Amino acid sequence: MDKDIATPIRTKEILTKFGFQFKKSLGQNFLIDTNILRNIVEAASITEDTGVIEVGPGIGALTEQVAKKAKKVVSFEIDQRLLPVLDETLAPYSNVSIIHSDVLKADLRLAIEDNFKDITDIMVVANLPYYVTTPILMKFLEEKLPVRGIVVMIQAEVADRISAKPGTKEYGALSIAAQYYAKAEKVMTVPGSVFIPQPRVDSAVLRLTIRDEPAVSVIDEPYFFKVFHASFANRRKTILNNLVHNLGPKEKKPEIEAALAEADVDPQRRGETLSLEEFAILSDALYKRLH
């Protein structure tokens, strides 16, 4: 019998043995291509000194490939029905711990302290459910955890948005939020045919390399986030209109116009044309005038 979990035959055997039914609400799509899993592990540059945090191990397909290379793997699994499956499939790997918890509610800093005491090189590696991709990624980034980077399989369209450059139709608030904390690059596109069940859309492997310092320096970080979110509220509107309607109040329009002038941003431009640096300068100019 093929030892790797991630083959169509072995995956079906495991699912049948445990009578496992996929839950649509949990966005469960299991990978059945070992080569793609190995590519994910390679993209994360995992060594025997690396500690890995995984989210949603499923039946352990990716976990297994990570465990073969890493010092320790800690996986968060929300679906209780998968715990006995993982107990069996990952039995050969003593360096794997499964935490039955919703990663969005978990204390990640504490999990790192508890599990990676003697490990300084920490990576996040996961095949993320589509429906919670953004909140999970933003939690890992915003909590400023001591991790080197994040390598995830996500919906291709989201990977395009996160790694997008200014002036493209994919570029938006998510691009800026992610690129503020990390360098983003799409490693590869993955067809739906390598999953059970097959998703209707393509996936992609995204690599985020965490920056030592955020990409730009701003007076007030939450306000900077507020400014660029406001700037993208309605993509058809100019940056001036978006800021007046979403950052407001409306009677502050003269101050907003003055801040745009100070930041050397044409009020008729649209949010998607501004770089991270321009948003930082604009955010500081607005902060000084509106606070």
Burial of 48 (0-12, 13-18, 19+ CB in 10 A): exposed
Q: Return the SS3 of 186.
A: strand
Q: Return the SS3 of 51.
A: strand
Gap between the Cα atoms of 165 and 206, Å rounded: 15
**87 is annotated as contributing to ligand binding:** no
Question: Any residues with CB less than 8 A from the CB of 283 and at least 6 apart, and which?
Answer: 218, 219, 220, 223, 224, 227, 228
DSSP for 245-286? HHT--GGGHHHHHHHHHHTT--TTS-GGG--HHHHHHHHHHH
**Contact 250/244 with Cβ under 8 angstroms?**
yes
Instruction: Identify the DSSP state of 207.
Output: E
**113 is annotated as contributing to ligand binding:** no
Q: Return the SS3 of 128.
A: coil
**37 is annotated as contributing to ligand binding:** no
Strand order in the sheet with 121-127: 96-100, 72-77, 50-55, 121-127, 149-155, 203-210, 182-190
Gap between the Cα atoms of 249 and 51, Å rounded: 47
**271 is annotated as contributing to ligand binding:** no
**31 is annotated as contributing to ligand binding:** yes
Annotate 201-238 with b (16+ C-beta within 10 A) or e (fewer): eebbbbbbebeeebebebeeeebbbbbbbbbbeeeebb
**77 is annotated as contributing to ligand binding:** yes
- Which positions make up the binding site for S-adenosyl-L-methionine? 29, 31, 56, 77, 102, 127
- Which positions make up the binding site? 29, 31, 56, 77, 102, 127
